[in-house]
């Protein structure tokens, strides 16, 4: 492949909801461009962009597939993005490095929750969008409904470039109102027959043509003046106006295709080659410091890594965009994020798993290299004279979690290494070891997401694993003040151990004052504060430790030991062994021994006095509550609400948003374990949701009793 310049390169991400036909369309595009001699199919497991074994196993895209084709003396870098919401990380990273989003719509469903989410990502990143009605040959295809939904969702910026004469089994022709021609196809598709518009379609075509001309003219004063003067625009004028409108996101063109039968694909590619923006047309990229970086091939070289994979028979493969300058084999770089040095030993253009050596890549182009030492997704590589750091991809938070362990304990280290590698490939797979829960937790975007992880571990890495329900990170606190004392005394020959601690515990609320006295059992306990320590607990909440010792009953040097003992019990609360929080402890009295008192004695005395006081202070369990936002089709609203209410949700609000209903609620984490799977089943996969930690709230009494009994039974069995 020859070296293309920035004004000859177009970067396009192919996005859309699961089942919209992206991979099949890419096959047709590869075939039309001459990249392949015959089209593959998902069913035959021989498509260009889906080549990972797990993609063949499940029949859906897992990773973005990069396809680079030469077309009309230009280079089109096309990224086929996964459609399932579980693999949204690849969509976001792809939109970030491309310049136009080609958004597919399944003509039988129209706009889906995934469509709206992908549009929001493009909107946030300021990228042009072209809509593409696909699968128009399906018996349930409804193009008029698609257009109605597009205008309802995205307004008057939606402008038709094409419309089908007939949809369903009889689909074989469209009217192109940009070129004012009829395109029709024989059964085998591919090459169109171009003819004049039939008389019965001329009025409709002329009306839509005028709308398109007006939309194109609105994006440039000179074009608008010409339109007012001459009443129309030339084809070249319209292309210019549409390109300018795309860049400003003031126009969203709509095309029609049937990717499975290769109808309309060649005309679509002509539009991509002739009209969509070049890299050099788009706004400049910005660094984390707000510095604008132009795609200038004569500037210092800087690369942004947007994807890493371990690919069959190759190993680690790194995908990058040349942000400035040019890159050749043998060039040296510094990883700005990690401070390490890298060398590009091999340089490729790609079409899926097929890699072709390339002499050089210039600013704006997308390339591939292999076997870098220490570079990860989101890193910036700078050549001599460059000192940039580009913004890393902003991935969504998790929606699904599972505890993971190897079937064979001997595989645990190997499993840990594999999980780290997989997180580097897909940063939306997040792994952590929870000291609190004593489990390794893996987080993802849904059940499919983690099922894919499991398949890869078991089939690629040969590690048999078990997914388990993760424990819930409950918290323990108290609801009233209580007092306790404890004497630790031990004599076993020689120096003994002695320490006695008297303390009071009470619930802590930010800003509360310290009383001068407390009453318990008719007895008053005077408080004289000598020292206060406020500790922000790593797991949330606070511990306030007050030294109120008077008369030297406990030497000041033993106070840290008492605090240490209390902290140990805060890390393993008396009710269920969960972390405790929001407690104030006042040590007001105690006793020492001139010989036998030491730090361990007071640590144990403080720990046990705290435990006894905690149990007497109306202890309660707190559970994590999450803010939930759910988008569902209107016809499934009732089912979605019923499901949430069964999950102890508090519904906060409902609103309509462009054809979908949006629910906001607060839901306990315990009730969200299988929510992504259930919601998908309820709505036929046409929904989406986000969840974010909100607060800790009291567990209902019946659930607390059940949890306490389970904990006590477990401890009894362990004993």
Look up the pTM and report it: 0.86
Return the pLDDT at 219. 84
Mean pLDDT, rounded, for 455-480: 95
Angstrom distance (rounded) from CA 278 to CA 99: 8
pLDDT value for 717: 63
Pick the CATH number of 479-618 from 3.40.50.2020, 2.30.130.10, 3.30.230.10, 3.40.1010.20: 3.30.230.10
The whole-number average pLDDT for the span 187-210 is 93
pLDDT digits (tens, 9 = 90+) for 394-435: 998 899 999 999 999 999 999 999 999 999 889 999 999 998
Answer yes or no: is pLDDT of 59 > 90. no
Residue 247: phi and psi, rounded to 5, are -60, -40
CB 67 within 8 A of CB 351: yes
CA gap 445, 397 in Å, rounded: 8
pLDDT score of 649:
95
Indicate whether 544 pLDDT > 70.
Answer: yes
- Those residues whose C-beta lies under 8 Å from the C-beta of residue 615, and which sit 6 or more positions away, are 574
State residue 62's pLDDT score: 87
pLDDT at 633 (0 to 100): 85
Q: What percent of the chain has pLDDT over 70?
A: 99
- Which has the closest alpha carbon to 123: 22, 252, 24, 236? 252
Angle between helix 637-645 and 675-683 (nearest 10): 150
Kindly tell me the burial class for residue 510, based on how many C-beta atoms sit within 10 Å of its own C-beta (0-12, 13-18, 19 or more).
exposed
Cα-only R_g, the chain: 32
Question: What would the pLDDT profile of 299-319 be if each residue is shown by its tens digit?
Answer: 999 999 999 988 877 889 999
Asked if residue 340 has pLDDT above 70, the reply is yes
Across 348-372, average pLDDT: 94
Is residue 634's pLDDT more than 90? no
pLDDT the model gives residue 658: 66
CA dist 494 and 552 (Å) reads 26
Say if residues 134 and 106 touch (Cβ distance below 8 Å). yes
Q: Per-residue pLDDT for 261 more than 90? A: yes
pLDDT score recorded for residue 493: 66
Residues 111-153 have pLDDT tens digits of 887 888 899 999 999 999 999 999 999 999 999 999 999 998 8
pLDDT for position 659 = 67
Whether 442 contacts 431, CB under 8 Å: yes
Work out the burial of residue 414: count CB atoms within 10 Å of its CB; fewer than 13 is exposed, 13-18 middle, 19 or more buried. Answer: middle
The third-level CATH classification (topology) of the domain covering 286-382 is: Elongation Factor Tu (Ef-tu); domain 3 (2.40.30)
Of 8-12, 385-389, 709-713, the poorest mean pLDDT is in: 709-713
Span of 38-47, 532-541, 550-559 with lowest mean pLDDT: 38-47
**pLDDT at 158 > cutoff 70:** yes
Sort 484 into a burial class: Cβ within 10 Å, 0-12 / 13-18 / 19+.
Answer: buried
Query: Cβ distance 195 to 182 under 8 Å?
Result: yes
Domain over 622-702 is classified CATH 3.10.20.30: no
Mean pLDDT of 502-531: 93
pLDDT tens-digit readout, 425-465: 899 999 999 988 999 999 999 999 999 999 999 999 999 99
What is the three-state SS of 170-238?
CCCEEEECCCCEEEECCCCCCCCEEECCCHHHHHHHHHHHHHHHHHHHCCCHHHHHHHHHHCCCCHHHH
- pLDDT band per the 50, 70, 90 thresholds, residue 188: confident
Q: How many residues does the chain have?
A: 719
Residue 686 has a pLDDT of: 77
pLDDT tens, position by position, 563-600 = 999 999 999 888 888 999 999 999 999 999 998 999 99
DSSP 8-state class, residue 615 = H
Nearest partner of 685 among 114, 58, 246, 35, judged by Cα: 114
Q: Which of 6-10, 231-235, 427-431, 479-483 has the lowest mean pLDDT?
A: 231-235
Query: What is d(CA 509, CA 481) in angstroms, rounded to the nearest whole number?
Result: 13
- From first CA to last CA, the distance across the chain in angstroms is 70
Q: How far apart are CA 225 and CA 113, in angstroms?
A: 40
Q: Which fold has domain 400-471?
A: Alpha-Beta Plaits (3.30.70)
Q: Is 101 helix (H, G, I), strand (E, B) or coil?
A: strand
CA dihedral 381, 386, 390, 392 (to 10 degrees): 20
Place of tokens 């508090």: 650
| Local confidence band at 82 (pLDDT 50, 70, 90 cut-offs) | very high
CATH for the stretch 6-283 = 3.40.50.300
What's the average model confidence in pLDDT over 664-683?
92
| Partner residues linked to 559 by β-bridges | none
Q: Is the pLDDT of residue 223 over 60?
A: yes
Mean pLDDT of 282-298: 94
For the chain, what is the mean pLDDT? Answer: 93
pLDDT of residue 586: 97
**In the Cβ-directed half-sphere of 420, how many Cα atoms lie within 13 Å?**
7
What pLDDT, on the 0 to 100 scale, is given for residue 324?
97
- Six token digits for residue 444: 């993802």
Q: Which of 429-438, 485-494, 502-511, 571-580 has the lowest mean pLDDT?
A: 485-494
Q: How far apart are CA 434 and CA 420, in angstroms?
A: 16
Write down the domain spans for the chain.
6-283, 286-382, 400-471, 479-618, 622-702
Gap between the Cα atoms of 31 and 40, Å rounded: 9
The predicted model gives 51-69 an average pLDDT of 89
- 8 Å CB contact between 141 and 105: no
Rounded to whole angstroms, the Cα distance separating 417 from 413 reads: 6
Residue among 213, 162, 212 nearest 184 (CA): 162
Tell me the mean pLDDT in the region 660-686. 90
Q: How far is CA 624 from the centre of its chain?
A: 21
622-702 and 400-471 share a CATH fold: yes
Name residue 506's beta-bridge partners. 584
Secondary structure (3-state) at 152: helix
pLDDT higher than threshold 60 for residue 719? no
Looking up tokens 């290299």 gives 369
Residue 168: pLDDT band (50, 70, 90) is very high
């Amino acid at each position: 492949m020859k070296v293309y310049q920035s004004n000859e390169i177009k970067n396009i991400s192919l996005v859309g909801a699961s089942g919209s036909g992206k991979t099949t369309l890419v096959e047709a595009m590869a075939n039309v461009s001459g990249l392949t001699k015959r089209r593959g199919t998902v069913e035959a497991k021989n498509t260009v962009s889906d080549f990972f074994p797990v993609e063949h196993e499940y029949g859906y895209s897992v990773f973005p597939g990069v396809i680079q084709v030469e077309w009309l003396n230009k280079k089109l870098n096309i990224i086929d993005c996964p459609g399932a919401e579980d693999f949204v990380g690849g969509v976001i990273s792809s939109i970030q490095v491309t310049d136009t989003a080609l958004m597919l719509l399944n003509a039988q469903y129209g706009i889906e929750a995934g469509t709206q989410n992908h549009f929001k990502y493009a909107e946030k990143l300021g990228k042009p969008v072209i809509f593409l009605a696909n699968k128009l040959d399906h018996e349930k295809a409804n193009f008029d409904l698609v257009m109605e939904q597009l205008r309802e969702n995205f307004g008057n910026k939606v402008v038709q470039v094409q419309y089908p004469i007939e949809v369903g089994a009889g689909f074989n022709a469209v009217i192109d109102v940009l070129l004012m021609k009829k395109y029709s196809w024989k059964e085998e598709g591919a090459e169109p027959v171009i003819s004049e518009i039939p008389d019965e379609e001329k009025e409709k075509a002329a009306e839509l043509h005028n709308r398109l001309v007006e939309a194109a003219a609105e994006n440039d004063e000179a074009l608008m003046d010409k339109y007012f003067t001459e009443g129309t625009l030339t084809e070249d004028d319209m292309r210019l106006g549409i390109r300018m409108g795309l860049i400003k996101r003031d126009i969203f063109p709509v095309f029609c295709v049937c990717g499975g039968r290769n109808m309309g694909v060649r005309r679509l590619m002509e539009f991509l080659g002739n009209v969509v923006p070049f890299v050099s047309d788009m706004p400049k990229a910005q660094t984390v410091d707000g510095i604008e970086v132009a795609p200038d091939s004569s500037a210092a070289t800087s690369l942004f890594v947007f994807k890493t994979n371990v690919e069959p028979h190759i190993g680690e493969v790194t995908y990058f965009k040349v942000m400035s300058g040019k890159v050749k084999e043998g060039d040296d770089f510094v990883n700005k994020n990690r401070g390490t040095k890298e060398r590009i030993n091999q340089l490729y253009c790609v079409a899926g798993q097929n890699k072709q050596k390339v002499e050089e890549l210039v600013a704006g182009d997308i390339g591939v290299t292999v076997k870098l030492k220490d570079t990860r997704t989101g890193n910036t590589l700078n050549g001599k004279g460059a000192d940039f750091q580009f913004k890393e991809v902003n991935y969504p938070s998790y929606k699904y979690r599972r505890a993971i362990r190897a079937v064979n304990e001997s595989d645990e280290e190997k499993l840990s290494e594999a999980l780290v590698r997989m997180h580097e490939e897909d940063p939306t797979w997040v792994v952590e070891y929870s000291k609190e829960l004593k489990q390794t937790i893996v987080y993802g975007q849904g059940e499919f997401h983690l099922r894919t992880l499991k398949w890869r571990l078991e089939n690629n890495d040969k590690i048999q694993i078990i997914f388990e329900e993760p424990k819930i990170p409950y918290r323990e606190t108290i609801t009233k003040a209580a007092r306790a004392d404890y004497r630790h005394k031990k004599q076993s020959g020689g120096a003994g151990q002695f320490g006695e601690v008297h303390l009071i515990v009470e619930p802590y609320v930010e800003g509360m004052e310290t009383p001068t006295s407390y009453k318990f059992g008719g007895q008053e306990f005077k408080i004289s504060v000598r020292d206060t320590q406020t500790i922000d607990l790593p797991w949330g909440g606070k511990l306030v430790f007050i030294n109120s010792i008077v008369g030297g009953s406990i030497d000041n040097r033993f106070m840290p030991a008492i605090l240490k003992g209390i902290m140990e019990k805060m890390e393993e609360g008396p009710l269920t062994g969960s972390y405790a929080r929001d407690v104030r402890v006042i040590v007001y009295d105690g006793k020492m021994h001139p010989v036998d008192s030491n730090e361990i004695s007071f640590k144990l005395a403080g720990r046990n006095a705290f435990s006894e006081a905690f149990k007497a202070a109306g202890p309660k369990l707190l559970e994590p509550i999450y803010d939930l936002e759910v988008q569902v089709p209107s016809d499934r609203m009732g089912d979605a609400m019923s499901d949430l209410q069964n999950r102890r949700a508090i519904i906060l609000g409902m609103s309509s948003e462009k054809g979908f209903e949006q629910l906001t609620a607060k839901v306990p984490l315990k009730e969200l374990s299988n929510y992504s799977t259930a919601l998908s089943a309820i709505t036929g996969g046409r929904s989406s949701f986000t969840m974010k930690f909100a607060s800790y709230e009291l567990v209902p009494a019946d659930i607390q009793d059940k949890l306490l009994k389970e904990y006590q039974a477990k401890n009894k069995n362990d004993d």
